[in-house]
Chain A
Amino acid sequence: MAAHLKKRVYEEFSKVVQIPHEEVPAKKLRLSKPSKSAALHVDLCKATNSTDALQYLLQFARKPVEAESVEGVVRILLEHYYKETDNSVRLKIASLLGLLSKTQGFSPDCIVDDVISTLNNEKSHQVLVQLLDTLLVIGTQLPENPAVRQRLIEVACKHLSDTYFGVRIKCLQLLGCLGTVDAPLTKDNEGQGMSTVRDVQNVISDYFGDQDPRVRTAAIKAMLQLHERGMKIHQIIYDQACRLLSDDYEQVRSAAVQMVWVLSQLYPESIVPIPSSNEEIRLVDDSFGKISHMVSDGSWMVRVQAAKTLGSMLQVSPHFLEQTLDKKLMSDLRRKRTAHERAKELYTSGEFSSGRKWADDAPKEKVDTNAVNLIASGACGAFVHGLEDEMYEVRIAAVEALCLLARSSPSFAEKCLDFLVDMFNDEIEEVRLQSIHVLREISTHITLREDQLDTVLAVLEDSSRDIREALHELLCYTNVSTKECIQLALLELLKNLNKYPTDRNSVWKCLKFLGSRHPTLVLPLVPELLSTHPYFDTPEPDMDDPAKMYWLWDAHCNWPPSPQLPGRKPLYGLDSVDSGGGSGSVEAAHLFLQQSLNRVSTVQNLEAPGAQDLLDFTIRDLQRLGQLQPELAGAADFSATYLRCQLLLMKALQEKLWNMAVPLCLKQNATATAAARQILEETYKLEFLYSGLESRQVATIHHVRLQAKALQLVLTARTRRGLEPLIGSCEKFLQDVESFQRLFLTELPHLQDSFVEKLLELMPRLSSCKPAELVKILQTTLRQSGLLQLRLPEQIHRATATIIEPTGESDNPLRFTSGLVVALDLDATLEHVQDPQNTVKVQVSELLYPDGQSHVIQPRPGDFRKPGPHRHRLITQVYLSHTAWTEPCQVEVRLLLAYSSSSSSSSSSSSKAGWSDSTDSLPPPEAAIEGTIPFSKSVKVFIMPKPARR
């Protein structure tokens, strides 16, 4: 742990080095260098015994070292190393060498020789391990240096025959990280006269048979490392790897499973013989069989590994694949049909619900004794075992593997259906949920039979909301075979609705999809459902009746016209549900969008009023388009907002006020200032509210923001007196320009003829000139620069959020004792939000009431679920509290999207900063601009804090 922390310190430190390059004067560095190494030297000389020395070294390790002084420090350390007799001190020095060589900006090739020479003289095994580790660090730091690499490999080979397992492990790691396949490695066995040229793989694979399991594991890992580095592993290793699958130690078996898998991916088509017979099979099939065998291994870690691995072996032949679900049943040596088979037969024979009698499953035919293979040879029944495993980790892995395999093979999907449906009954909720999700994913391949549907629908009564909603989702995508199935589903869903009214939205949606998927099956049910059936003939229509209607309606849209049906419109005025035009119009709309944008690009050629009108119209068009075409809503909104920014900018610049004297135009100035502020706000929305942006668009947005900032600067210059504030803001602006240049270096060629380009041209002059001059330049550049054309990316989506619960319709206030808390259930759907765990916040603000305070709550990460791609569900509780009120009053709840400008440029830095435990805290790389964007409609909730009774 200590070592780990120290590493962290150095990592932190490595950032520190980066900054001095730019800002901190070099002189400072030089000052600190001698003091650092000298201090160490003095400390080490002072040390009278090894414990003291160790203490000094430990203290030293806590502080960072500059790149320039590393070498000096290393020399001192080495000097002390030679003198030191105590193992632990030498060990610490060796580990420090490794840490130091990681320092950024320091090239460790100068200390390779020293480390290797110490290595040759070292007697203690532990220190040897540490030294080899140091070499490993150095080797990974110098990937481009073949000479060093060759030397290190030689060292590794030399020490491979050490008696201590740790040394062998480190050597193997070295070989794995640095070895190359093409270069022959060493001449081995020189003593016996015959010199064979061997390569790394040969050497490593020798250690597959080492006596120590840790070394065996390390050898396999090294081989895998070679593979990861892009070396081609020889097929000869396959046999050895397979033998290791039956090793006594679990970590060896686990690694061997990976090894076999890698080989099966490398040589799927080559042919291997089956031992004890003269048949041959494809390697991928063979390895599939072997890994399947591991699903019934003794160690659950290996079982998880094996089950996971199976999922990614897609090239396996269907014949083998289907065996994984095979489990021949027998009873007293007679073949017995599985429950699945019996269910299928019952179904096909037309007799559905027959109770099972005693000995109903009595075996029929006699099994040929020789044909029964008890021990599953090959892939037999791997998934049957995996799904029944004791550990739920294994079961989940098996379910996931089933999913992957079934997605690529429809026939397999059909077969695994029964097994997945069985998993709906698992004892662990996570497993049930996972299998429902999996079934949804493969549902395109399958059609549910009535008996299967029945089992699936039984889960609708589950008390867990997640499970029910997952099941609704599944039903949205399922195909069923008969009209009875549809009816069954409908009835069960209505039952579900009765039992759990909170599911209303989800059930409605489910019905809608179910109807539109099976129009022809719904058709014969219509008369019964609409009126003729007494079941629905209630005097007062049920509140939840729209559910049925939704469903009918959607099916209706796909029906063939038929005289016996009521017309479309009379269907209870549900036309607002109209899902819009057909898919053909999407193309046209897209074209329209493009054309509008192209048209706008000509705007700079127009006179001012014409240009403004054109923008106005285009914005209006785009907004309407967004409403009409949900597919393009994101793109249209995005463009419209962008154009609005441009329009505002244009308006602000074209005011005549620029020519007036300052005191005369205060009012106009106010509008321009407002415009600038609004543009800024809009740019943040543009940047953070839309997903699917590429750096090109981000650059454009930043460009607009820069323009807005320039505008602000100019306005400040005009209104404010006094130089002091102006100088500050000028400097800040110049920094902004610089950071823009840094961030979007690659995008600059696209920004031809733009504001920024012009600014950058003038940059040398700008940085030296006075504020007044700068303002003047900015003013002219702003007015000269034209509109930057917006190019839309492929997919662009606006993040939206809908609060489902609370509905805001309730007239009953939520009563609670003041000073205590009340929990408000919040249920919302988020679309196209990236990383909602960190960005989405809940804002609760009080209306009407005097203090009008608002506070923002960050939901827990566990409150977010992900029901589908680009979709999140937030189910959380908001805790409210307040002092007493005299009468109920509303509070407003809405969702906010938090952003910070730093998170867009270097998203990782902010999250990791919290981890650092070092004392010297780092300044944030850039002044982060943080803010929030409301992105949902607000919902009002009536609350009533009552005074506590004394």
Chain B
Amino acid sequence: MPEIKVTPLGAGQDVGRSCILVSIGGKNIMLDCGMHMGYNDDRRFPDFSYITQNGRLTEFLDCVIISHFHLDHCGALPYMSEMVGYDGPIYMTHPTKAICPILLEDFRKITVDKKGETNFFTSQMIKDCMKKVIPLNLHQTVQVDDELEIKAYYAGHVLGAAMVHIKVGSESVVYTGDYNMTPDRHLGAAWIDKCRPDILISESTYATTIRDSKRCRERDFLKKVHETIERGGKVLIPVFALGRAQELCILLETFWERMNLKAPIYFSTGLTEKANHYYKLFITWTNQKIRKTFVQRNMFEFKHIKAFDRSYADNPGPMVVFATPGMLHAGQSLQIFKKWAGNEKNMVIMPGYCVQGTIGHKILNGQRKLEMEGRATLDVKLQVEYMSFSAHADAKGIMQLIRMAEPRNMLLVHGEAAKMEFLKGKIEQEFNINCYMPANGETETVTTNPSVPVDISLNLLKREMALGGPLPDTKKPRTMHGTLIMKENSLRLVSPEQALKELGLNEHQLRFTCRVQLQDPHSDSDTLHRIYTHLKSVLKGYTIQHLPDSTVMVESIVIKLSSSAEDPNTKVLLLSWSYQIVTRYVTNIVITKH
């Protein structure tokens, strides 16, 4: 039986460094090539030595597919392609291709320039790596080689995020990457057709969570910002440059527009501006509202949001500032925070998760006095708010996707083991399909039952259909008569005559003969005549002929009589018939009668 093998090199029962190997129909595909944010050593990248100990990866992999531009999905790409060595095709969507190098470069700068690491990929390597990328469009079927084809579906999550449907022959796998089943302010919801893949590989970050409606969170957020502004306070929103930041910008921008507010909104410069540029360009990847209104006005051309300058932080009056990074651990957001922390009119809104040890984490946990470097302490008087704006599918969303795609098997990655266990149980219970959750390095093998396509000539099909009676019992299987020819990797069903012709064979008639000995004193012709009359009386409705060459024909059965030389009384009756269903019955009668 054919099999599909799935091996996670990262993201198996874990979040971070997504990298999954799939072997399907003799093809090896790498899905995502990410890095782990939590490690600074070798564990940062997937263990490519699993594929090969030495030498390049090119001969072992048919293609690499990157689902979206987050570093835990594409961070190890230059390392793999340039340092380990891979020259095959890398597929990603257009927005991912545009934004990915910006992030990689930024990541490189931090690790090499700031932390001073050596033996890391260089800017040139990023460029070389991006040259190997082949961009994908949504719903475009791309033929990687003669047998392997891939097709991208919209996944929400971030700009350009895609799910991929990988197909070899009739076997197929869907890999979701990260996706979001509820639309947000700038992106739509993930969608896939009923492609019924053999395996659906889904992320499961929120396997045990069902989230509240997005609207409540948005409303809360806007209300808090609005109230602070009305009081004359300043709002600081620490964000990471891409993804959520754009969503929040749109949210605030439209709110400002709707409510006719005048207070300035600032966005800290740098990488974000570059990224915003791409958001403006890839309008087709955004949600319905932005897509429909961009003709009048591109929503990403912000009217109220301006670039931030260091000096603005001291301006009087209300303002809103988006600043990087998102966990308040360094950089501009921390500087602004220090300036504003003393005033209780101000507010800081943390829109995402904060790692332990960062200032963000401390203030969220209610710490009011912070120790800064140089033994200085900082009194935190401003209000601290937490708003979760995450763009992963929750448990319900995952179930919804399964319902849409109707896979035969399910495989969970990109989540914590305990949470996956719960979801696995639910999936098996609700959909009655197998669900797997391999750990890193474990191989899961799924046997498939592919249907084998056979060519059949239309004439033969029509002829056989006509025999079977009228439609509409289409559900019933129907038998047909034909010859299966397997030739040069192709299977064809043809009529027997044609098969003979093609193979250059002659048709052979099979005749069966049988000898029956009788004791009969009459002469040969008399006996034959008696047999003839007897048969005539027994087999009514059949054509029975007494031919002049002393044979009797019953339909196509030939009966001949000869007497043996020694004993004229012992007659030998010779029966001969060809292989046919009707005749068999008659033959039986003929034989048994004597």
Residues of A within 8 A of B (CB): 160-161, 163, 191, 206-207, 209-211, 248, 296, 298, 327-333, 336, 338-340, 355-360, 369, 372, 374-376, 381, 384, 387-392, 419, 422-423, 425-428, 455, 458, 461-464, 499
Contact = CB atoms under 8 A, between A and B. Distances in A.
Contacts of B474: 209-211
A428 B395 CA distance: 28
Given A160-B471, A327-B210, 8 more contacts: A207-B472, A209-B475, A333-B208, A339-B212, A356-B386, A387-B215, A388-B215, A455-B219
Closest 10 pairs (CB-CB, A-B): A358-B364, A339-B216, A390-B183, A161-B470, A422-B215, A358-B386, A375-B399, A461-B259, A333-B208, A463-B260
B209 A463 contact: no
Chain B: number of interface residues, binned into ranges: 35 or more
B400 A296 contact: yes
Contacts of B364: 357-359
Nearest to A161: B470
Given A332-B419, A374-B399, A499-B260, A384 B213 contact: yes
B189 A463 contact: no
Interface in B127-145: none
Interface stretch (B41-49, B91-99, B422-430): B422-430
Nearest to B387: A356
B254 to A, nearest CB: 6
Contacts of B258: 461-464
A355 B385 contact: yes
B472 A210 contact: yes
B590 interface: no
B193 interface: yes
A837 to B, nearest CB: 25
A296 B366 CA distance: 40
B121 interface: no
A339 B386 contact: no
Contacts of A163: 465, 471
B511 interface: no
Contacts of B224: 355
Given A369-B422, A425-B218, A356 B385 contact: yes
Interface in B407-450: 419, 422-423, 425-426, 430
A666 to B, nearest CB: 68
A340 B212 CA distance: 9
User: Which of B211, B226, B419 has the largest number of chain A CB atoms within 10 A?
Assistant: B211
A387 B223 CA distance: 20
A921 to B, nearest CB: 39
B534 to A, nearest CB: 34
B244 interface: no
A333 B471 contact: no
A338 B216 contact: yes
Contacts of B214: 388
Nearest to A334: B208
A422 B213 contact: yes
A163 B254 CA distance: 56
Interface string B467-510: 00111101100000000000000000000000000000000000
Given A207-B472, A340-B216, A425-B218, A298 B191 contact: yes
A357 B386 contact: yes
Given A387-B213, A388-B214, A356 B220 contact: yes
A387 B182 CA distance: 11
- A interface, over-half SS: loop
Interface in B368-425: 383-386, 395-396, 399-400, 403-404, 419, 422-423, 425
Nearest to B462: A163
Interface string B287-322: 111000000000000000000000000000000000
Nearest to B260: A463
20 contacts: A161-B471, A209-B475, A210-B472, A210-B474, A248-B194, A298-B404, A329-B210, A355-B384, A356-B386, A358-B350, A358-B366, A359-B365, A359-B386, A374-B210, A375-B400, A389-B183, A392-B289, A425-B222, A458-B226, A464-B258
B188 interface: yes
A298 B192 CA distance: 7
B183 A332 contact: no
B210 A375 contact: no
A461 B255 CA distance: 10
A210 B385 CA distance: 58
Contacts of B220: 339, 356
B36 interface: no
A375 B403 contact: yes
Contacts of B259: 461-463
Contacts of B384: 355, 357-358
User: Which of B212, B365, B422, B475 has the largest number of chain A CB atoms within 10 A?
Assistant: B212
B403 A388 contact: no
A909 B150 CA distance: 57
B217 interface: yes
A256 to B, nearest CB: 15
Nearest to B250: A427
Contact of A458 (B211, B215, B223): B223
B117 interface: no
B185 interface: yes
A295 to B, nearest CB: 11
B288 A332 contact: no
Nearest to B223: A458
A341 to B, nearest CB: 10
Contact of B185 (A209, A375, A427): A427
Contacts of B288: 390-392
Given A374-B396, A388-B182, A327 B226 contact: no
B257 interface: yes
A161 B466 CA distance: 11
A375 B208 contact: no
B217 A339 contact: yes
A360 B259 CA distance: 29
Nearest to B217: A339
A256 B72 CA distance: 43
B50 to A, nearest CB: 31
B208 A357 contact: no
Interface string B177-211: 00000110100110111100000000000001111
A464 B188 CA distance: 25
Given A339-B220, A358-B364, A428-B289, A390 B188 contact: yes
A209 B191 CA distance: 27
Contacts of A390: 183, 188-189, 287-288
A369 B208 CA distance: 10
Contacts of B191: 298
A780 to B, nearest CB: 71
Nearest to A454: B223
Given A328-B210, A331-B209, A427 B289 contact: yes
Contacts of B209: 329-332
A95 B269 CA distance: 68
A207 B475 CA distance: 11
B167 to A, nearest CB: 17
B212 A329 contact: yes
A374 B213 CA distance: 16
A473 B117 CA distance: 66
A384 B226 CA distance: 26
Nearest to A219: B472
Contacts of B182: 388
A455 B211 CA distance: 21
A209 B386 contact: no
Interface string B257-295: 111100000000000000000000000000111000000
B472 A369 contact: no
Contacts of A338: 212-213, 216
A423 B192 CA distance: 27
A328 B211 CA distance: 9
Nearest to B425: A369
Contacts of B222: 425
Contact of B208 (A298, A332, A356): A332
Nearest to A377: B430
A332 B210 CA distance: 9
